[in-house]
Amino acid sequence: MRNKQIGEKLGMSEQTVETHHKHIKWKLQTKHNTDLVKMAQYLS
């Protein structure tokens, strides 16, 4: 799902979604979106 679509579903701007995404990757020490997906699959 693209940031624009996520923002529309959550009622926020695309830029806000990108900022949250960037902060999540920084906090979890990941560089790529695929790392986030792998981590989510591992934790669920």
pLDDT single digits (tens) 5-30: 999 999 999 999 999 999 999 999 99
How far apart, in whole angstroms, are the C-alpha atoms of residue 26 and residue 9?
A: 24
Per-residue pLDDT band for 43 (boundaries 50, 70, 90) equals: very high
Q: pLDDT at position 17, please?
A: 96
Phi-psi region of 12 (alpha: psi -120 to 50; beta: other; left: phi over 0): beta
Q: pLDDT at position 9, please?
A: 97
Q: pLDDT at position 1, please?
A: 84
List the domain range (segments joined by +) for residue 19: 3-43
Q: pLDDT at position 38, please?
A: 93
Structural domain tally of the chain?
1
The residue assigned the tokens 């695309």 is 14
* pTM of the predicted structure, to 2 decimals: 0.75
